[in-house]
Chains A and B, each alone.
Chain A
């Protein structure tokens, strides 16, 4: 169980960085997804708002780079720290996604 790390998140694309490549030539797309939903907590419904940094490395990067701001999508992936210096700053590494509208 300790090795489990799976996130499923739906939302709207609100930021899309320019597509870039690693020095080895692998495509990298960084983006931000705005999430808004109703969730049950402590027995009552509440509103949830979140902006989540996400990154796609490899063959998913180029297709994602063609999206337009406002696109709704569901992404699946895992969480990882963006740097060792700030282990509490996380990014969602996308390995699957689905477009909604």
Chain B
């Protein structure tokens, strides 16, 4: 008797469950993909089980096709996806869809499939026997096919070579195979000598056995990257793969260059959302087939299959960009730690300003703390941070005289200056001084930002974009004035104040063109730019040896937030940007202009002691039962009317009555209106994780079945922003 076979498939639909299909023909393994009918659509999904048990569904449909282009996801990636679906109460199919390259989410087979394959002759003698003795090139190729040969290599033999191989394949003399792991003999190029602290950190990582989480807490410029490089060299020497996560796509090319210089001949794959689909698939396959020794990537790389994973590194582990802000709101840092646990390998989290979550784990002994207190370049001193009170100071276009004098003397000594202002555009708002009108977005509770060069007003939240009005829409006054400073205005002001200096603005607008950022960074390194004006893009990771002075404008905006994480983030950001100064031996100086120079926050910052700040914050969080001392989730709702959003949240809260969780009163979001939707949220908290998870599962299941009308909702577990 022929037993029926069934597959359980995770489909990218907004439902928490998986779906069963009948498998009529063909072979498919767990972790591969199948194309199935779903309603009137045809969808691709990942197979989570192949079984013979008749599913209890009314109308069982059959698998349409098995593309066979995606190698089976290994069990740890499947386990990681399952964990994330559960932890973040997000539909499992959507989690798998996020974990694999876009090409493998299509119903069509990946067109680049063939090029990624290799060919091999199982019996070279038989192949040779079938060839004419005078077909020298064919015979040469046949000999090479004793080992699996990639398509590129085959094409290199002769223009016609792929046609021969296809003919041989039809006669069964050659078979298609996946490219096999090539054990690369990779000797790292000479590495700089380590100081004692770095050496101790590398030794600790190398000695780690199995799952061992480590927090590398090192001040800016203390050479954390060098610790990663040497730990990875040891991992590679043992024949294992290393997964390195970085927060910003902007930082990958730079870091990649540094890795390539250190590991010449190594197959290094970089994975980030800026890659073309084909490029990403090829990198992903190289990692999954064990050909790539080092995978460098942004948060999505945490799901990359790595058969010989030996070390996980998360650089700048505190960075908010590890957290996906929309849709599947996961933390790649947390996923990386879980992945390391699944694979029983060491994981190294590095930062100058660790997240309070990781700091607590280190303090309580769950993570091993490795500390770097000195700058790596001998003689390089941590930058000196000074506050410049501006309440009563005479200001020249947003700059205090004191700051301008410091800039003049730095430039005179041919040092570079970075002016940091976390606000792009010319001015954050356009206003009419006569009647008080200000440029507001039609769709958001936000102001329209003036982009002077293009004469546009733009909403940075919804993309609403209009021409600058000729006159005030309310009173008709033509003399509308920009209010406040953005990067473009700072650039213009500095060009006027320092006519001999070369001012370079680096923000999202000036680097939109492909390759623009690389060119600008080259100019900075070559010393062609004297003054850099930059947003948070400039705060992270960059290493500019000539930079001696950092000026911070507008830091105060982060001080008075309703968000309990605001100070933690501001501290991290200011310390990061301060760390750009004085990295190459010359002393660095940091000036922070502030209206509130007496604020206790700045005292901690000037002291530059993150450990002290973090301990104080943790004490405060503990006493207020805030994360990380409580498990939090936020239920977010958006509707055309605020009342509908709030009603939905109240109803959800009533569903959770009886659960050992606390649901706070629903309130409008800090940004109450965005892109035409009124936003509100309710915080759901619990003393422990399991009851919170249970409550979230209930909500997710309930609203997947009975979708609320006219309300968009989302669960945000471990919310990072309010």
Chain A contact patch, size range: 10 to 19
Inter-chain CA distance A26–B472, complex, in Å, is 13
**Known A-B contacts A23-B455, A24-B468; A84 and B480 likewise in contact (beta carbons under 8 Å):** no
- From A24, A55, A57, residue with most partner B Cβ within 10 Å: A24
The count of residues in chain B whose C-beta lies closer than 8 Å to any C-beta of chain A is 20
Inter-chain CA distance A83–B430, complex, in Å, is 15
Complex interface: stretch among B258-266, B293-301, B432-440: B432-440
Interface assignment of B238: CB less than 8 Å from any CB of chain A: no
Which residues in A have their C-beta under 8 angstroms from that of B433? 82-84
Interface assignment of A70: CB less than 8 Å from any CB of chain B: no
Contact yes or no, B434 A23, CB < 8 A: no
Contact yes or no, B478 A25, CB < 8 A: no
Q: How does the 8 Å CB contact mask read for B391-405 relative to A, with 1 for contact and 0 for none? A: 000000000000000
**Min CB distance, A26 to chain B, in Å?**
5
Inter-chain CA distance A1–B478, complex, in Å, is 25
Chain A, 1-49, CB within 8 A of any chain B CB: 22-26, 28
Inter-chain CA distance A58–B434, complex, in Å, is 17
Which residues in B have their C-beta under 8 angstroms from that of A67? none
Q: How does the 8 Å CB contact mask read for B103-117 relative to A, with 1 for contact and 0 for none? A: 000000000000000
**Min CB distance, A38 to chain B, in Å?**
34
Contact yes or no, A84 B436, CB < 8 A: yes
Contact yes or no, B470 A84, CB < 8 A: no
Q: How does the 8 Å CB contact mask read for B559-586 relative to A, with 1 for contact and 0 for none? A: 0000000000000000000000000000
Inter-chain CA distance A81–B477, complex, in Å, is 11
**Min CB distance, B483 to chain A, in Å?**
11
Contact yes or no, B478 A58, CB < 8 A: yes
Interface assignment of A80: CB less than 8 Å from any CB of chain B: yes
Contact yes or no, A23 B430, CB < 8 A: yes
Contact yes or no, A83 B434, CB < 8 A: yes
**Min CB distance, A30 to chain B, in Å?**
9
Inter-chain CA distance A1–B524, complex, in Å, is 64
Tell me which of B467, B468, B478 contacts A57 (CB under 8 A): B478
Inter-chain CA distance A26–B476, complex, in Å, is 13
**Min CB distance, B478 to chain A, in Å?**
5
Closest to B433 in A: A83
Which residues in B have their C-beta under 8 angstroms from that of A25? 455, 468
Q: How does the 8 Å CB contact mask read for A51-77 relative to B, with 1 for contact and 0 for none? A: 000010110000000000000000000
Interface assignment of B671: CB less than 8 Å from any CB of chain A: no
Where the two chains meet, the residues of A that have a C-beta atom closer than 8 Å to any C-beta of B are: 22-26, 28, 55, 57-58, 80-84
Where the two chains meet, the residues of B that have a C-beta atom closer than 8 Å to any C-beta of A are: 426, 430, 433-436, 450, 452, 455, 467-471, 477-482
14 contacts between A and B (CB under 8 A): A22-B478, A22-B481, A23-B426, A23-B430, A23-B455, A23-B468, A23-B481, A24-B469, A28-B478, A28-B479, A80-B434, A82-B434, A83-B434, A84-B433
5 nearest A-B residue pairs (beta carbon): A24-B468, A83-B433, A57-B478, A23-B468, A24-B470
Known: A22-B468, A24-B455, A82-B434; 7 extra A-B contacts, CB below 8 A, are A23-B426, A24-B468, A26-B478, A55-B479, A58-B478, A80-B434, A82-B433
